[in-house]
Amino acid sequence: MKNWGKTAILCGLIFVSCLLTAQESKLINRIGIEFGMNEFIGKTVVPDRVRAGDIIKSGSTFNNTIDVPYIGIKYEQYFFDKRMGFAAGLRFTQFSSAIHGKTDYFLIIPYNNCFLWQFNEKGIYTDYLRIIRITQDNNYLGIPLEFTYVLENKDTFFRPYIKVGAVVNKLISTKNTIEFLDDQMNQYADAVGNQVEKPNAFNAYFYPALGFKLGKNRYICGNVEIQYTPLFIPKRIHPFISPDYGIGIQLSLQIPLRKKTK
């Protein structure tokens, strides 16, 4: 874990250094803000405290998702005739996923939509709580690193590009939201939350992307891209799911730090 921390600090220093030296560079330098949303899809990981059979088990079908919205700032520099780019920044990301009971689409009975959570065990006696849903929201601060290749040689208004990127995240906070079948059980929400598995302190994922730029190099421009995520580190990037792949969209606005003069 110490190596992860040192890497994060080093990348942060490089990012700040790039900003301070951008005005002196003859390359194209941009600072921007990014917004994105990913959906990671995979198999449910059922906590040990859930009574067997109350939640759809892991199997060959994709039966759970992680919602991954994010926002960040990014410094980008282009070289090699303004077609090859490198970007680094800081990104705030939330990983949100939930587990819930089986849903009976034919019988609308509340009990069928909940699961039993093993709350306490004393000798031969076991206490269960009926829970409809547990949602865990994990907030991370990360450092994205991206390499871009612009397919269009000319500085036109519309330019498609391809990208490969990765982001390394450090956990900063987590929140468990417990929805009980009986509202009187809300008094046990904190206790149940403490029994839920904790998220990883660090995670990372890799993503290729295809997008296009709107705007010329010397002006403010926007980017729109579609991302595909095939690789996660660790594989269980969230306690409730082991994702197999992800897909998402990113929007960004970039401002040139220096106008290139001929």
Positive or negative, the Cα torsion across 31, 37, 96, 237?
Answer: negative
- Rounded to an integer, what is the distance from CA 184 to the centroid of its chain? 34
Q: Which two tokens stand for residue 33?
A: 């803000």
Q: Which two tokens stand for residue 213?
A: 């730029």
Is the pTM of the predicted complex or chain greater than 0.95? no
pLDDT digits (tens, 9 = 90+) for 100-118: 887 554 444 444 578 899 9
What is the C-alpha separation between 120 and 129, in angstroms, rounded?
Answer: 9
Give the angle 83-88-93 at the CA atoms, nearest 5°: 125
Provide the strand spans (E) within the chain: 28-44, 64-79, 84-100, 115-122, 125-150, 158-180, 202-214, 221-229, 231-233, 241-256
pLDDT digits (tens, 9 = 90+) for 231-248: 999 988 999 999 999 999
Main-chain phi, psi angles of 154, to 5 degrees: -85, 155
Query: Residues 203-221: what's their mean pLDDT?
Result: 91
Tell me whether strands 221-229 and 241-256 are parallel, antiparallel or unpaired. Answer: antiparallel
pLDDT digits (tens, 9 = 90+) for 76-86: 988 766 778 89
Q: Classify 47 as helix, strand or coil.
A: coil
pLDDT over 60 (residue 156): yes
Q: Are 113 and 65 in contact (CB under 8 A)?
A: no
Residues 231-240 as b/e (b if ≥16 CB within 10 A, e otherwise) read: ebeeebbbbb
Averaged confidence pLDDT in the chain: 84
Q: Which two tokens stand for residue 201?
A: 């302190």
Q: Choose among 75, 246, 219, 76: nearest CA to 161.
A: 76
Domains of the chain are 2-97+135-176+199-256 (2.40.160.20)
Exposure on the CB side of residue 9, measured as CA atoms within 13 A: 6
Q: Choose among 255, 256, 257, 253: nearest CA to 223.
A: 253
Q: Are 255 and 218 in contact (CB under 8 A)?
A: no
Q: Choose among 254, 257, 259, 235: nearest CA to 245.
A: 235
Residue 205 pairs in a beta bridge with 167, 232
Q: Which amino acid is at 69?
A: P
Q: What is the pLDDT of residue 154?
A: 80
What is the C-alpha separation between 21 and 128, in angstroms, rounded?
Answer: 60
State the Rg of the chain over Cα.
23
Exposure on the CB side of residue 81, measured as CA atoms within 13 A: 7
pLDDT over 60 (residue 25): no
